[in-house]
Amino acid sequence: MKMKKLGVWFLSLMVALSIILPFAQFEAEAKAFDPNAEYKDINLRFWNDEKPNQRFYINAASRYILETVKKPEMGSTFGEWSVMDLLRGMYTGADYINYIPENYFTDYKSRIDTYVKDIDGNLDRNKSTEWSRLTLSMTSLGFPITDIAGYDFVDRLAQSHKFSYRQGINGPIWEIIALNTGGYEFPETPSKFVEGDINTVGKMIDYIMKLEITDKTNKKGGWALFGKVPDPDITGMALQSLAPYYVDASKYPKKDINTSYEDFKKAVERAIKVLSEIQADGGAYKAFGNINAESTTQVIVALTAMNMDPKAKVINLPTINDQAHFNQKGGVNDGVYTDNMMDALYTFFAERSGSSPEVSGFKHVTSGYDGGGGSGTGVNAMGTDQSLYGLIAYDRYINKEKPLYDMTDQSNGQYKNMKAKKFKVLFDTEGTTSEETYSPYATLNIPASSPTSNAKVITWNTKKDGSGVAYLPNELLVMPEQNITLYAQFENQYFAINYELNGGEFNICSVEFPHLL
């Protein structure tokens, strides 16, 4: 009996250690990025010293992907997500487009065709998400998934409803997202099927609805990969898949579905309410007890897909006659204060992780437990992929572009005509000018001498009289999305300083401030 108890105790200890050790193994200190202050300390200057917006980070992360994903291929990292990110951000006209190699996308498509042919179109025997993920990159490239290396992905996913949920709720979620990227529709009679098992969108929505969580208090709302506690990742992804039907009732399936549209809308709004309730102080979202970039991104993508502002404090939920209160509490995480989910996402920015200051990826976490995946607290491929498409989703929302996963704006290969924008920089030297062109978020090296006279310049100023913002020679200025003029300043500026003394003596001297313009 004693030996039996000892064995149980030892087994319990081993289980406990298996939980504790991953925390200890990957616990490391790393500094979060402060988007409201640290942009001043990354060896870059911004126009009028204004805080950079999301497009600076989109360009930085896209440049980082181009430096680290030279030859994308089939895979959950260094593959489809990276390709999709680069394509879905091209409407911005940002500088990263200038760095995309000429055959980058066509070579990727060739590698995919070879991969699909080599495995006879059977991407995975258990995971339909392999087809769904590849659909994202193919559709954004303008290749319909009805013919990828001769294989029809739509027909394949229509063949079996059971196959869609073989990996759990993740399968139906991503099949629905994939279908909506290009407005694909399942055939009523696929090329191969078992009677009663033909897949439909209606069946998959019903499946997701049945897995809505009811907690111990009988409160309903949200979803999880497993267990009875809603998590932001699966809840966010589920909402992304359901968003097209919530926004447009005419798209809601009319067959093979038992969930009424009213009940559907209630489930969607309950999930939105849940997301507002589990948001961490500061605006981010947690997984495995730690805030991270990916969980935060999934909520951003979900809200923007439903035409809702991730920075809003209150979102009305008319079907359940309630409100979701987001971004209610500011908080400090890893030494940085934020009060909304967008600023919270920026804290994962891995400054100086690329070849130059304007090139950087994103982290998964900035400190603490990394979830056991070994990502640690440094720049991370998946963290970069997901943070980037979260930023693109937000930018698309505020600029009234189509949502991230509505790729009908690129389904005919429109990316081929999407070029980097060009803006002018006018260097004005006492009335004589020199002009250069740059794409937005490129960096220009502030010249040390006038391009027209070769005279040494002390500073360049945004205003002719020197009263604007000054830029020193050899500083890197991030090009804004506008034409700009910089005025050469040749002489030191002198200012009168009045000192008021409360008794005592003061030795008067001349003080020169050559660069404080």
Domain boundary among 417, 441, 464: 417
CA atoms within 13 A on the CB side of 49: 12
Q: Residue 35 falls within a domain, yes or no?
A: no
Residue 333: strand pairing partners: 336
Of the candidates 133, 6, 3, 158, the one whose C-alpha atom is nearest the C-alpha of residue 74 is: 133
Domain hosting residue 121, numbered range: 52-417
Both ends of the chain: CA-CA distance in Å? 84
Judge if 382 and 291 occupy the same domain.
yes
| Residues with Cβ within 8 Å of residue 336, at least 6 apart in sequence | 32, 33, 34, 347
Domain co-membership, 158 together with 280: yes
- Residues whose CB is less than 8 angstroms from the CB of residue 103 and which lie 6 or more positions away in sequence, other chains included: none
Give CA 153 to chain center in angstroms: 27
Do 261 and 350 fall into the same domain?
yes
- Rounded to the nearest 5°, which phi and psi values hold at 363? -95, 160
Of the residues 382, 417, 452, which one is the last residue of a structural domain? 417
In a domain, 25, yes or no: no
Per-residue pLDDT, averaged over 21-41, amounts to 67
Best mean pLDDT range from 98-107, 363-372, 487-496 = 98-107
For residue 148, what pLDDT is reported? 98
Do 491 and 407 share a structural domain? no
Query: Two tokens at 421?
Result: 């924008």
343-364 mean pLDDT: 98
**CATH code of the domain containing 472:** 2.60.40.4270
Q: Are 320 and 266 in contact (CB under 8 A)?
A: yes
Residue 45 lies in a domain: no
Using alpha carbons, select from 405, 112, 97 the residue that is nearest to residue 239: 405
Q: What phi and psi values does residue 315 have, to the nearest 5 degrees? A: -125, 125
Ramachandran sector of residue 250 (left: φ over 0; alpha: ψ -120 to 50; beta: rest):
alpha
Residue 43 covered by a domain: no
Contact at 8 Å (CB) between 101 and 390?
Answer: no
Token pair 């992907």 is at which residue? 65
Q: Which of 15-19, 331-335, 363-367, 400-404 has the lowest mean pLDDT?
A: 15-19
Mean pLDDT of the chain, nearest integer: 91
Instruction: Tell whether 34 is covered by a domain.
Output: no
Instruction: List for the chain the helix, strand, coil content (%; round to 5).
Output: 40, 15, 50
Residue 18: inside a domain: no
Distance, CA of 435 to CA of 427 (rounded, Å):
6
User: Per-residue pLDDT tens for 105-126?
Assistant: 999 999 999 999 999 999 999 9
Residue 493 pLDDT: 53
- Span 284-301, average pLDDT: 96
The stretch 124-141 carries a mean pLDDT of: 98
The whole-number pLDDT of residue 509 equals: 57
Higher pLDDT, 480 or 511: 480
pLDDT recorded at residue 499: 66
Domain identity same for 349 and 443 = no
Whether 411 and 500 map to the same domain: the answer is no
Query: Is the same domain home to 140 and 263?
Result: yes
**Each residue of 56-103: pLDDT tens digit?**
999 999 999 999 999 999 999 999 999 999 999 999 999 999 999 999
Determine if the pTM surpasses 0.85. Answer: yes
Q: Could you give the number of structural domains in the chain?
A: 2
Distance CA 389, CA 299 (A): 12
pLDDT of residue 1: 39
CATH of the domain at 350: 1.50.10.20
Tell me: do 348 and 467 sit in the same domain: no
d(CA 83, CA 140): 9
Q: State residue 220 phi and psi, 5-degree precision.
A: -100, 150
In a domain, 33, yes or no: no
Same domain, 377 and 230: yes
The answer to whether residues 396 and 509 belong to one domain is no
Residue 470's contacts (CB-CB under 8 Å, 6 or more residues apart) are 459, 460, 461, 462, 489, 515, 516, 517
Same domain, 138 and 267: yes
Angle at alpha carbon of residue 119, lines to 189 and 197, rounded to 5°: 25
Q: Which long-range contacts (CB under 8 A, 24 or more apart) does 317-321 make?
A: 317/269, 317/272, 317/273, 318/269, 319/262, 319/265, 319/266, 319/268, 319/269, 320/266, 320/269, 320/270, 320/273
Regarding whether 359 and 222 lie in a shared domain, the answer is yes
| The last residue of a domain, from among 380, 400, 417 | 417
Q: How many CB atoms lie within 10 A of CB 408?
A: 13
pLDDT band for position 377 (cuts 50, 70, 90): confident
Q: Residue 214: beta bridge partners?
A: 220
Neighbours of 514 (CB within 10 A): 13
Q: If you average pLDDT over residues 279-307, what whole number do you get?
A: 97
Beta-carbon contacts of residue 363 (< 8 Å; ≥ 6 apart): 30, 293, 348, 349, 350, 375, 377, 378, 379, 380, 383
Query: What does each C-alpha distance from 91 to 85, 370, 402, 415, 418 come to in angstroms?
Result: 11, 33, 11, 8, 6
Residue 389 falls within a domain, yes or no?
Answer: yes
Checking if the pLDDT of 50 tops 60, the result is yes
